[in-house]
Amino acid sequence: MKKIFNILLIIFVGSGFVFGQVRVEDVRISYRCLNKPLPVVLRELSKQSGVNIVFSESKIKSDKTVSIGATDEKLVDVINVICDPFKLTSQVIGSNIAIVSQKFEGLGQQFTISGYLRSKEDGEVLPYAAVYLVDRSTGVFCNEDGFYALKLKQGNHTVVYSYVGYKEDTLQFYLGSDTLISPRLGCANRLAEVIVEEDLTRSTERYGETYFSTERVSNAMMFAGEADILRAVNSTSGVSTASDGFGGLSVRGGNYDQNLILYDGVPVQNTGHAFGLISIFNSSLIQDSRLIKGGFPARYGGRLSSILDIKTRDGNTQEYKGEISLSTIASRALVEGPIVKDKSSFLFSFRRTFADPWIKELSRYIVESSDGEGETSYHFVDFNGKLSFRLGKRHQLSLSYYQGGDQLESVVNRDKISLGIRYNSADLNDQQWGNKLASLHFNSQLSKNAFSRLIIYSSNWESSAFAFDRNAVDSMQAVEDIYTADLKTSDLKMLGAKWDFDIQINRNNLFRIGAGYVKNTFTPGFLSVSNVSNGSLYPEVYTRSDAFDALKRQAYESAEITAYAENEINAGQNVIINVGVHASQFTYGGKNYTSAQPRFSMNINGEHTWFNVSGAMLRQYTQALSDNGLGFPSDQWITSTQYILPADGFNSNATLGFMLGKAASLSVGAYYKTMKNIISLGEGAPLSIALGEEWQKAIPRGKGTSYGLESTFQWSHPNAQFEFNATYGKATRLFDDLNNGVEYLYKYDRTWMTNTSLTLKTGARSTMNIFFTYQKGSNVSAPTGGIIERVENGQKYIYPIFEGKNNFRFPDFIRLDVGFTFHGKTKLGKHKIFAGIYNVLNRKNPVYLDISRNNFDLNVFEVSKVSIFPVLPSLSYTLVIGK
């Protein structure tokens, strides 16, 4: 009866009175009373303020009286204070205030606000933007396509839309039905506010994820003047690379192939130009990225260590824009604009190294200075294209294409005469690698609270590495002229489709389901020939095309079907639980592998503290066979087969965070993970790949464990941003066929890693970036002595003794980078100049250990640590044409 009364009351009030031009919520009042009955007070307030206050006197049964003293307070707040002891509250309805039961408020009808959040400047959707009530009692994040759905009770609400780098937008409205709201956020003035303030209280780190906004990537230290998402990722806790960004990322002691890297939802295998120094991801195109190291939601699968989800932006739907950039190592150009204003857009970008003529000249100089002749030529190129179409208010179609590749050719000849003996050597390395990615995306808001996403994609990876090594000795006694030629190729083609369906069931449950299918074809290739092997006759010079003619390759096909269900539960005002299961079936020939991987994560968010804990079972069907774990393009990407079992893992994680005042936060976390059926190349010799499947039996299979502690401190100020993170960890591997079956430290077992970054606003148009990293050195296998094992014709042959795998730790890795960014604006457009010094301390951090026999004395082993970059100045200039 009481409920019916309240409903009638609201209908009555809502349909009746009109109150002037001043919003009821803004009405302020000064009022004092002592021990007066509530009805009397409400009437006096109504009279004094001129706002119609509707209530039922019969429902106020308490004998309590009201005493209050308010000076220039909001009327609504005053009413709520005096009504609270009576278990009543106020609701603003139109220009009236209704006094209703607090119970009634909880039983009101719920409606959904939903829509897309976009940028006001270019119409771009804003993924993972925050949408929440102003009192922060509830809220959601947009999905990766900028879609959100928030269920709220009927009534007045103040909703905040927030996105890093954009001005917050606050909307006040009365919600009486399901409503489509697609606001556009204005961009913060990036010239004046170069430093973007992150709201630490809503930091996504709280949810076990690390977000990389465009600003965060561009504020991260650049290498050779190129902003790079993978370098930004590498500066976070628990992430390492071999050195100087070489190779792939090792996340929390995992292999580099255990990271699922999605580029607009399309999996990418090898992400590096220049052996990983520069990622293939053009920073001008990246809208938003996030790294998940633990607490894997069920919608992701296929890798054991991390997810890096990179989303590119759409073209500008409002105006034509262009961007050109020149840096020390590459130049790039970008054009974008509307096809039909507000409805469709295009975006094309092109990037290429332009230093190749200098690389040739310099390499020639270096080789000649060491009594040789030859040169190195290298270049990379990539192209991105994207067409986006808005189909009405609820649907969007986009087509994306990426093609990029690298080409490296190095030739070195040496001729030397010593004691009447002529030595001649010739080395040729010819490597080419690249990706082609194509995808079609169709996003659709199916209803007020349901969203669907369909992706059809292909991802092709191709690489080839040809090496020719010739050594000749011409003496009075004999002539030896021996060469070896090796060709390694790796192709992995993926053709697949994924469908995701998100539905906001109610205010507390966001349910997601999805399914996917992918067909994999991997084609490995290996050829090694020598002009003395098997007595066969080979040509005088064995060329790349000779090797390709002789190479026998076989394509191996497999298919994977995936499905998932995931529910994100608001289990209380401050508790979010995500539970789900990711299932997969993998088919290779007649062999089937099935898996159900439960996932769980829980986040507790207090005002000043937060805590998250997660656990996930994971399975990986695609792995890389790496020569050295560095993640070079010559690695073989292969899928599970009859003999290569899927890798399984368990990943757990717990993090506790604290706000230290309003501007600083500290989080401390621990992780533990196990891996089994991971693969590696054997010791001593390259994998001999042949036709058939027997060669797969020779691939060592083993286990891995890693655990550690991570800590991150962040401090944010309008003029500065500081971050320090530290990781203490251990990572081990155990393979029956490696290290004689004894457990050993993983290559990237760094023990200690710290990264410190500071971004400082040095003027109205300039910032300074400082980045410092300290890490324990990586582990390598080094010889501890030599032994004579063979004597032929009086010649002793010595062999090195290796006492253990990864028995030697490189010196500590230390690097300090400093950079300055200057912004300007002219009639032509916006200008940005970056000048930086990479490795200011000129620290020669080793990347790998080179062990080889001396070309001219095969009995001498040369062992050297190789560092790549000394102090390195860099410069880049970017011009953005358009508003």
Q: 57: phi > 0 → left, psi -120 to 50 → alpha, else beta; which?
A: alpha
799, 800, 803, 807: CA torsion to nearest 10: -150
Q: Which residues contact 357 (CB under 8 A, 6 or more apart)?
A: none
- Using DSSP bridges, classify how beta strands 647-660 and 701-717 pair: parallel, antiparallel or unpaired: unpaired
Nearer to another protein, 15 or 536 (CB): 536
Q: What is the largest CA-CA distance in the chain?
A: 122
User: Judged by CB under 8 A, which of 116, 586, 632, 671 binds another protein?
Assistant: 632
739 binds another protein (CB under 8 A): yes
Q: Per-residue contact track with another protein, 128 to 167, x per CB under 8 A?
A: ----------------------------------------
Q: Which residues contact 256 (CB under 8 A, 6 or more apart)?
A: 247, 248, 249, 250, 624, 626, 629, 630, 631
User: Judged by CB under 8 A, which of 738, 753, 879, 880 binds another protein?
Assistant: 738
Nearer to another protein, 138 or 634 (CB): 634
User: What is the nearest approach in angstroms of another protein to the Cβ of residue 426?
Assistant: 6
User: Judged by CB under 8 A, which of 63, 549, 694, 792 binds another protein?
Assistant: 694
Nearer to another protein, 507 or 809 (CB): 809
866 binds another protein (CB under 8 A): yes
768 binds another protein (CB under 8 A): no
Q: Which residues contact 96 (CB under 8 A, 6 or more apart)?
A: 13, 14, 16, 17, 19, 24, 51, 52, 53, 54
Q: Give, as one character, the DSSP assignment of residue 740.
A: G
Site for another protein in 457-516 (CB under 8 A): 468, 472, 474, 479, 481, 484
Nearer to another protein, 173 or 797 (CB): 797
User: What is the nearest approach in angstroms of another protein to the Cβ of residue 837?
Assistant: 10
User: What is the nearest approach in angstroms of another protein to the Cβ of residue 548?
Assistant: 17
- Using DSSP bridges, classify how beta strands 179-180 and 110-116 pair: parallel, antiparallel or unpaired: parallel
User: Judged by CB under 8 A, which of 64, 170, 863, 883 binds another protein?
Assistant: 863
368 binds another protein (CB under 8 A): no
Per-residue tokens: 840: 């200011």
Q: Per-residue contact track with another protein, 695 to 734, x per CB under 8 A?
A: x-xx------------------------------------
Nearer to another protein, 135 or 373 (CB): 373
Site for another protein in 656-685 (CB under 8 A): 681, 683-685
413 binds another protein (CB under 8 A): yes
CA atoms within 13 A on the CB side of 89: 10
User: Judged by CB under 8 A, which of 333, 495, 503, 690 binds another protein?
Assistant: 690
The single-letter code of the amino acid at 60 is I
Per-residue tokens: 304: 């054991």
541 binds another protein (CB under 8 A): yes
User: What is the nearest approach in angstroms of another protein to the Cβ of residue 694?
Assistant: 6
Query: What gap in Å lies between CA 486 and CA 544, rounded to an integer?
Result: 9
# chain residues binding another protein, by CB under 8 A: 100
Q: Count Cβ atoms below 10 Å from residue 736 Cβ, excluding itself.
A: 11
782 binds another protein (CB under 8 A): yes
Q: Per-residue contact track with another protein, 372 to 401, x per CB under 8 A?
A: -xxx--------------------------
What sign does the dihedral 290-291-297-302 (CA atoms) show?
A: positive
743 binds another protein (CB under 8 A): no
Query: What gap in Å lies between CA 119 and CA 311, rounded to an integer?
Result: 15
Nearer to another protein, 26 or 549 (CB): 549
Asked if 146 and 117 touch (Cβ cutoff 8 Å), the reply is yes
Q: What DSSP element (H or E) covers 284?
A: none
CA atoms within 13 A on the CB side of 191: 10
Candidates 110-118, 155-163, 170-178, 406-414: pick the segment binding another protein (CB under 8 A): 406-414
Select from 465, 461, 359 the least CA-distant residue to 405: 461
Candidates 149-157, 193-201, 296-304, 776-784: pick the segment binding another protein (CB under 8 A): 776-784
Per-residue tokens: 51: 């706002």
Nearer to another protein, 177 or 688 (CB): 688
Nearer to another protein, 154 or 424 (CB): 424
User: What is the nearest approach in angstroms of another protein to the Cβ of residue 738?
Assistant: 7
369 binds another protein (CB under 8 A): no
Nearer to another protein, 422 or 825 (CB): 422
Asked if 154 and 108 touch (Cβ cutoff 8 Å), the reply is yes
352 binds another protein (CB under 8 A): no
Q: Give, as one character, the DSSP assignment of residue 5.
A: H
Nearer to another protein, 617 or 645 (CB): 645
Q: Which residues contact 20 (CB under 8 A, 6 or more apart)?
A: 50, 95
Query: What gap in Å lies between CA 445 and CA 786, rounded to an integer?
Result: 69
792 binds another protein (CB under 8 A): no
